[in-house]
Amino acid sequence: MKIYLGGDLRLKAIRNYLELIDSLVVQKEHSSFLPHRDVPIPHRNGREKGLLRKKEYQEFGKFVFNKDLQALQECDAAIFVLEGLCWGTTLELGYAYAFKQLINPQLKIIGLFTDSKKEEVLDIIKLHAYDIIISTVS
């Protein structure tokens, strides 16, 4: 099973959290796609080779956007970290939901939200776009 891992990549804590989730996915013998790790921006290496700096938005933004959406299409499941939910992650969620509804009904969409008051924090659209919302990683 291939799993897309999404969250607010502007926050280092969320990137680290996604990498923790990735290590658990790999332990379960699945593969994953981490945008900041797996988008092959030219001349960029290391842990955050797919993470854009502001000055690179114009040059590589559309490339990264297309690679992320392509990866979502190729995955069996998508996990979105909902803490610090940003506009980009919300867009990925909407794309995954539409892709599931129109093309691949087997796609599993999972929200990861550790705030015990999630019903008060998530709006109704985000709350119901997921197949399941989980509150722990194990």
- Give the type of residue at 44: R
Give me the percent of the chain exceeding a pLDDT of 70: 88
Which tops the pLDDT comparison, 51 or 90?
A: 90
Average the pLDDT over 86-111 and give the result: 94
Distance CA 32, CA 98 (A): 21
Going from N- to C-terminal start, the domains of the chain cover 2-134
How many Cβ atoms from other residues are within 10 Å of residue 43's Cβ? 5
| Nearest alpha carbon to residue 68 among 39, 110, 97 | 39
The second-level CATH assignment, the architecture, of 2-134 is 3-Layer(aba) Sandwich (3.40)
22 confidence band (pLDDT: 50, 70, 90): very high
Which pLDDT does position 99 carry in this prediction? 97
Taking only the tens place, the pLDDT of each residue in 56-72 is: 778 888 888 999 999 99
**Residue the block writes with tokens 């502007």:** 10
Which pLDDT does position 45 carry in this prediction? 67
Distance CA 36, CA 22 (A): 12
